[in-house]
Amino acid sequence: MMLASRFAMFIAWGEVFPYLYNDACIPIVGARHPFAMGKPFREVWPEVWEELSPLLHDAMQGRTSFHENYPVALEVDGELAPHWYTFSYSPLFDSDGQARGLLSIAMDTTAAIQAGRRQDVRRALDDRIRDLSSPADIAASAAELLGAHFSCDACFFAELEPDGAFVRLDGSWSNGRSPPLSGRQPLADLLPDGALSVPLLKEGVPHVLVCGHREAGRWTADDEALAMAIGERTWAAIGRARAEEAVREAARELRLLTDALPVLIAYVDSDRRYRFNNKAYEDWFGRPRDQVAGKHLAEVIGEKAYAELKPTIDRALAGEHLSLDKKVPFRTGGTRNVHIDYVPRLSPAGEVQGYYALVQDIGERIRADEHRQLLVNELNHRVRNTLAVVQSLAAQSFKKGMPLEAGRRAFEARLRTLGAAHNLLTSENWDSATLDQVVREAVAVAADGRHLEISGPAVRLAPQTAVSIALAMHELCTNALKYGAFSVPEGCVSVAWTVADDVAGTSRLQFVWEEVGGPEVRLPTARGFGSRLLETGLAAELRGRVKLEFLPAGLVCRIDAPLPAGT
């Protein structure tokens, strides 16, 4: 019966349980066959005798026992290895009903148990890493699980550097008996005696899973298979996590970059709903991000603006790339000038999935353009007016009957004063100049180094008035150099002015040019350009009175005018 069965069976009896087994039992007996045949049980299985002898003796007491997945450590090739058996010990009775021996029927369940345990570890791994998103956490979690399962000192994943001598640790676990490892390490230090290392080649980069020394002894092929399976599984999860992390990182960078741009950026899908928008977009429409994302265009930009832009949007969603300037209604009322770029986004099959909208506020640019045009026009006007002034100076300098050379000198001197007055105004941003500056500058140009006394409160003159007063001062200087106080070294011109309210409450400027110490003054026989410019031109321009008094002691010029409008 026993010999023909394909169940592993043995019988044993008597005091020392000589061991008799069938062919189906040979795989269990292993290297001990055929030595084991008929030998006492204790000699055949010394490593389990202590544990199993009570069960054998139980059978000899007439008791049948059944053991399911019973773990035993059997010596294979000089090493103890875990095995599992489901077996029964049944007493064999003699005719007196006395148990004389036993029959054992056994089944090696090691493979099934180990497969189940691998399955358990894999499930535990899946449970652990399911909610983890960081590759390092996944590696560390898997290392801990595997380390605990193997009861080894340490377990870690590492990426090998190209030279193979150093590794970078991705996730490491230690049971506390050896120090935890991290960072960049020499590979040799990480592979102590008795360590299991499993190579993992991922995307061309060599990685390794290392399980450190363990008390339980050497690593089996089964352990290695489990480590490999867990390593592969972990690595797949790490790969996915890294890809997801890269996507998140790319999205974060895109967000950071687009939020820093002053341009309004949005992506709108073919249902005309927002799928992306930057900070400038939110600010422009005065809505937080969650009030833009997923909303319809019309809701965010307003029905009015949507109606206005719809034909353009239709074209963008038909696949057209558009670039245009447009005046669009603004949320707080009024309109804004914007430059719009609509860039359609196509699927690989060429279908329009949506479009990117890039919108720039060009109001400032348009205002700047208008302002520049205004300045150009104003410049042209001023240049033309100045040319007319120069033309007038030329006409007055080259009067009929005057010597040409004298006329040329007079014209040049007048141009210099005009140029100096322009310089003064330019330095003041062509805004205004003070009366004090204008008088000093005109005298400095026409009568440099002559004795001038000047006093008066600050009075600001508009550009045109400044130019006229400068030219009037020039004429007074020229006259003083020829006939008056500037014609002798001891001569002096005193310029003084006051500002006071008249009875009507108007601020009036009282200005006096007084020459002293010069030769005796005689009344001129004819009035020249200077007199005319002062008494007629300047008087009209200042809306006041200008009076020239040719007193014997020296020329006196009095100006009485409303305080000129400065700025």
Choose between 133 and 377: whose C-beta lies nearer to other proteins: 377
Identify which range of 23-31, 133-141, 533-541, 553-561 contacts other proteins by CB under 8 A.
533-541
Minimum CB distance to other proteins, residue 465 (Å): 8
Two tokens, residue 28: 């269990």
Which of 53, 65, 197, 464 is close enough to bind other proteins by CB under 8 A? 464
CB-CB contact of 237 with 247 (8 Å): no
Q: Report the DSSP pairing between strands 335-346 and 460-461.
A: unpaired
Overall size of the chain counted in residues:
567
DSSP one-letter string for 331-369:
TTSSEEEEEEEEEEEE-TTS-EEEEEEEEEE-HHHHHHH
Minimum CB distance to other proteins, residue 504 (Å): 15
- Which residues pair with residue 21 across a beta bridge? 10
State the binding string over 429-458 for other proteins (x if CB under 8 A, else -): ------------------------------
Sign of the CA dihedral 28, 34, 37, 39? negative
Choose between 243 and 395: whose C-beta lies nearer to other proteins: 395
Minimum CB distance to other proteins, residue 384 (Å): 3
Rounded CA Rg of the chain: 55
| Binding residues for other proteins restricted to 372-431, rule: CB under 8 A | 377, 380-385, 387-393, 395-396
Which of 536, 545, 547, 549 is close enough to bind other proteins by CB under 8 A? 536
10 Å Cβ neighbour count for 273? 17
Identify which range of 126-134, 363-371, 463-471, 510-518 contacts other proteins by CB under 8 A.
463-471
Choose between 172 and 396: whose C-beta lies nearer to other proteins: 396
CB-CB contact of 238 with 170 (8 Å): yes
What letters, b where the CB count within 10 A reaches 16 and e where it falls short, cover 172-207? bbbbeeeeebeeebebeebeeeebbbbebeeeeeeb
Sign of the CA dihedral 405, 408, 409, 410? positive
Which of 210, 471, 476, 480 is close enough to bind other proteins by CB under 8 A? 471
Choose between 208 and 539: whose C-beta lies nearer to other proteins: 539
Spatial distance between the Cα atoms of 151 and 219, rounded to a whole number of angstroms: 12
Sign of the CA dihedral 39, 40, 41, 45? negative
Choose between 35 and 430: whose C-beta lies nearer to other proteins: 430
Task: Please count the CA atoms within 13 angstroms of the CA of 315 that sit on its side-chain side.
Answer: 10
Minimum CB distance to other proteins, residue 381 (Å): 4
Choose between 367 and 543: whose C-beta lies nearer to other proteins: 543
Minimum CB distance to other proteins, residue 396 (Å): 7
Collapse the DSSP code of 261 into the 3-class scheme (helix H, G, I; strand E, B; otherwise coil) and give the result: coil
CB-CB contact of 486 with 480 (8 Å): yes
Task: Please count the CA atoms within 13 angstroms of the CA of 122 that sit on its side-chain side.
Answer: 16
Collapse the DSSP code of 245 into the 3-class scheme (helix H, G, I; strand E, B; otherwise coil) and give the result: helix
Minimum CB distance to other proteins, residue 537 (Å): 3
- Which residues pair with residue 79 across a beta bridge? 76
Minimum CB distance to other proteins, residue 398 (Å): 12
Choose between 280 and 393: whose C-beta lies nearer to other proteins: 393
CA-wise closest residue to 120 among 245, 261, 226: 226
| Binding residues for other proteins restricted to 253-272, rule: CB under 8 A | none
Which of 241, 538, 557, 559 is close enough to bind other proteins by CB under 8 A? 538
Minimum CB distance to other proteins, residue 461 (Å): 12
The site that binds other proteins (CB under 8 A) totals a number of residues, namely 29
Q: Is residue 531 part of the contact set for other proteins (CB under 8 A)? A: no
Tell me whether residue 165 is exposed, middle or buried, using C-beta atoms within 10 angstroms of its C-beta: 0 to 12, 13 to 18, 19 or more. exposed
Choose between 282 and 541: whose C-beta lies nearer to other proteins: 541
Task: Please count the CA atoms within 13 angstroms of the CA of 2 that sit on its side-chain side.
Answer: 14
Minimum CB distance to other proteins, residue 366 (Å): 20
Choose between 318 and 565: whose C-beta lies nearer to other proteins: 565
Q: Is residue 507 part of the contact set for other proteins (CB under 8 A)? A: no
Alpha helix stretches (DSSP H) within 261-302: 279-285, 297-301
Q: How far is CA 210 from the centre of its chain?
A: 39
Choose between 396 and 479: whose C-beta lies nearer to other proteins: 396
Minimum CB distance to other proteins, residue 536 (Å): 7
Minimum CB distance to other proteins, residue 502 (Å): 18
Identify which range of 130-138, 194-202, 499-507, 531-539 contacts other proteins by CB under 8 A.
531-539
Which of 292, 461, 533, 555 is close enough to bind other proteins by CB under 8 A? 533
Spatial distance between the Cα atoms of 337 and 335, rounded to a whole number of angstroms: 7
Minimum CB distance to other proteins, residue 351 (Å): 53
Q: Where on the chain is the footprint of other proteins (CB under 8 A)? A: 377, 380-385, 387-393, 395-396, 462, 464, 468, 471, 532-533, 536-538, 540-541, 543, 565
